[in-house]
Amino acid sequence: MFFYLFIDTVKNICNKTLTFKFKRKRLLLSEKNKKSKAIGYARATNNEFEYLKAQIKNLKEEGCSVVFSEFASLDEEIKPQLNKAINSLFKGDELIITKLDRAFKNKKECLVTINKLLNKDIKLRTLTGFFAANDSSITNSSIFKILHELDNLEDKSLDERKKEQLLRRKLSGNNLGGRPKISPLKESLVIRLRNEGYSYRSIRSQTGIALSTIRRVILEGELK
């Protein structure tokens, strides 16, 4: 009986002694010198050479080690340099653009890409203050800022598409179409309100002018 008790005691001591939590004393080679990097992306239409240069300059000043850039229409289904930028990113890295409309044509495309990046633990940031990351410390105010910028994205995208269409028609010598049937006073009011930062919907509520007319007045004014 004593013999069996002795054996059980020895087994218990051995089990407790041999049970320990494994801790790696040295980092694996893949973990050594792992530094996150910031990659930039810039886009402009074919006639916006200075705008593209300004984006690249701002992104480099922000700390981007590499900036992928291209001339491409907002509506292009495939933006090769954007794809290269995204494919060059790994866990912990950051994609930086000047504004959301440089990379995305609408909310859906933007959100799909954000989810793709977040699933890889890659951050997305714009120079206008947008930030998306797998970080529980993001405050509610930051989330509201994201939603607000997404809400304005479609208006910005529509602006650029209209501008491209008007520019193509102007360069081809085609008539830009009749002027909106509103008084010069209302035209100047629309432009003044837009310059003061009011949205298209806000201008419509203040003036009673249709959104399509408001857009034409503003875009034709920018092309003069």
Cα–Cα dist 217/145, whole Å:
29
Identify the CATH assignment for 35-133 out of 3.30.450.20, 3.90.1520.10, 3.40.190.10, 3.40.50.1390.
3.40.50.1390
Cα–Cα dist 188/210, whole Å:
15
Confidence of residue 110 (pLDDT cuts 50, 70, 90): confident
Confidence of residue 141 (pLDDT cuts 50, 70, 90): very low
The confidence score (pLDDT) of residue 138 equals: 52
Cα–Cα dist 132/146, whole Å:
8
The confidence score (pLDDT) of residue 181 equals: 62
Cα–Cα dist 40/36, whole Å:
13
Cα–Cα dist 41/98, whole Å:
8
Mean pLDDT (the chain, rounded): 77
Whether the pLDDT of residue 7 is over 90: the answer is: no
The DSSP secondary-structure symbol of 211 reads H
Confidence of residue 2 (pLDDT cuts 50, 70, 90): very low
- Phi and psi (nearest 5°) for 109? -60, -40
Tokens standing for residue 187: 């035209």
**pLDDT greater at residue 110 or residue 170:** 110
Confidence of residue 162 (pLDDT cuts 50, 70, 90): confident
Name residue 69's beta-bridge partners. 42
State pLDDT tens for residues 46-98: 889 999 999 999 999 999 999 999 999 888 888 999 999 999 999 999 999 99
pTM of the predicted model as reported, rounded to 2 decimal places: 0.55
CB-count burial class (<10 Å; 0-12, 13-18, 19+) for 150: middle
The confidence score (pLDDT) of residue 62 equals: 95
The confidence score (pLDDT) of residue 151 equals: 64
State pLDDT tens for residues 201-222: 888 888 888 888 888 888 877 6
The answer to whether the CB of 100 falls within 8 A of the CB of 149 is yes
Whether the pLDDT of residue 29 is over 60: the answer is: no
Least confident range of 12-16, 72-76, 195-199: 12-16
The confidence score (pLDDT) of residue 39 equals: 97
Please state the domain extents for the chain.
Answer: 35-133, 153-223
CB-count burial class (<10 Å; 0-12, 13-18, 19+) for 97: buried
Cα–Cα dist 133/184, whole Å:
47
The confidence score (pLDDT) of residue 84 equals: 96
